[in-house]
Amino acid sequence: MIYFDNAATTGHKPITVVNAYNYDLKNISANPGRSGHYLSQRAANIVYKAREKISDFFDSDGPETVVFTANCTTSINYVLKGVLSKGDHIIISDLEHNAVIRPVKSINVDYTIATVSLNDDSETLRNFENSIKSNTKMIFCTAASNVIGKILPLKKIGELCKKHNILFGVDAAQGAGIIPIKMNEMNIDFLCVAPHKGLYCPMGFGVLIARKPINKTIIEGGTGTNSLELFQPTTMPERFESGTVNLPAISTINAGIEFVKSNANIMFKKENSLAKHLYNCLKNEDYIFYSNPNNNGYVPVISFNHLDTQSDIVAQFLNDKGFAVRAGLHCAPLAHKKIGTVLQGTVRFSPSIFNNIGEVDMFIYTLKKFKKH
Amino acid sequence: MQRHIISVSSITYAIKGRDFLRKHGYKAHIEKKTDINGNVGCGYVIVSFGNREKIVSALSVANIKILEIKSFA
């Protein structure tokens, strides 16, 4: 199967990632930070080195700011539910995933949805600034839309947050590894990462990087320390790591980040050229595109439809022909309201560095043969 | 040479402290203890050797909070 669903998870992992996972599972299956024996300490060391690597890569303040969670959604929940309280106001964008919207709704705080301009970042910034109230505690937004690939102006939003003394949180599920994200430089306080996407690691763990305190916990339990204390320890990162972490997956962080770093110069360029090729070859056919990869400010995640055909029908047709894409609403209803595709959904094409132009040509050829049933 | 048992708040800070001390030429390793810091339960200590004041100072530079330090001749 030809895999173009890399925004859901990167379908092919680098061999270095696979080897790191296999090696760890085979040789170091011990619980990190729980026991004192050699293997447990070796496991703890692997986790620590992964924290260092992540902190360096995202320009954070050290390994203790890096928390391993169950997934990126969990990381987002930790931030929103841990920081916001009754009476607070938060600003989110109109491209947010349900991973952001649903926690915001559940904690019942005042919120404003700021409109992202698809071609003018200054307008986006004005929309965020105009949404600020006296009780605004945080701006939380995606790094890039998982539906249309629009990159948000993180550095400018970070400056805005600094100016107004507001916390800044970023859902980097679609941005991490694809675009440079530097927490100090961009004034990002909380970064939530899905390593199984742009960092090419396995599924089963997420990352939360917190440069500012998170007061409340939503999960409490064993941390391997202070066992006689019946309250959750305050020390980071263990405060947010009750229960055993996914060591084999975490052990792949070094390989994943090194893979991204060593391909940084060609990765975005190659993936974007594949997205452009698809767009340029089909834009004059019976296909509607909701973003143009020829424009700057987009990651190579593009949505399209065949006229008014339901997106899942096109995706099923493609599946039958051997192509993996995702159809539907992509858990991002606000984005679909914005582009007018709530009822139809979209077909999402998201290549990785492992795809090539020949595969896209076959995809285009197949789509040209699609006839509405 | 004096031997020091330095209690810190977590395995993360124990590793950070150990690595920092090693980088600065001290011998250091980690042990698990059950009676650290006034017996609050399990935790990790850095075991290091050398001048106590210099070790404490080095860990302070690395932003590592020492909960308790016991030194032995």
Distance CA A326, CA A336 (A): 14
Hey, what domains does chain B have and what are their CATH numbers?
3-72 (3.30.70.100)
Domain ranges, residue A294: 2-10+264-369
For residue A235, what is the domain's CATH number?
A: 3.40.640.10
Residues A258-279 pLDDT 10s: 999 999 989 999 999 999 999 9
* Digit-coded pLDDT (tens) for A1-34: 999 999 999 999 999 999 999 999 999 999 998 8
Average of pLDDT values for A26-53? Answer: 94
Among A67, A64, A63, which Cα is nearest to A82's? Answer: A67
Both A295 and A239 in one domain: the answer is no
The residue from A261, A286, A311 where one domain ends is A261
Same domain, A337 and A242: no
* Model confidence pLDDT, tens digit, residues A122-153: 999 999 999 999 999 999 999 999 999 999 99
Which of B12, B22, B23, B33 to probe the A interface (max A CBs under 10 A)? B12
The residue among A49, A225, A230, A239 with the most chain B CBs within 10 A of its CB, best to mutate, is: A225
Average pLDDT over residues B50-66: 94
Over residues A327-340, mean pLDDT: 96
B35 touches chain A (CB under 8 A): no
Q: Domain with A283 in it: what CATH number? A: 3.90.1150.10
SS3 of A200, please? coil
A39 with A61, same domain? yes
Q: Which residues of B touch A36 (CB under 8 A)?
A: 30-32, 44
Number of domains in chain A: 2
Distance, CA of A358 to CA of A271 (rounded, Å): 13
**Would you say A348 and A330 are in contact if contact means Cβ atoms under 8 Å apart?**
yes
Residues A211 and A335 in one domain: no
Q: Which residues of B touch A63 (CB under 8 A)?
A: 12, 16
* Cβ contact B15–A224 (<8 Å): no
Lowest mean pLDDT among A67-71, A220-224, A260-264: A220-224
Q: Is there a contact between A226 and B41 if contact means CB atoms under 8 Å apart?
A: yes
Q: Determine the Cα–Cα distance for residues A57 and B51; give it in Å rounded to an integer.
A: 35
Residue A148's pLDDT is what? Answer: 97
Question: What is the model's pLDDT at position B1?
Answer: 82
Least Cα separation, residue B34 to chain A (angstroms):
9
CB distance A142 to A170 below 8 Å: yes
Whether residue A159 is found in the same domain as residue A49: yes
Option in A36, A45, A48 nearest B32 (CB) = A36
Q: Does the CB of B9 have a partner CB in chain A at under 8 Å? A: yes
Residue B38 banded pLDDT, cuts 50, 70, 90: low
d(CA A285, CA A292): 15
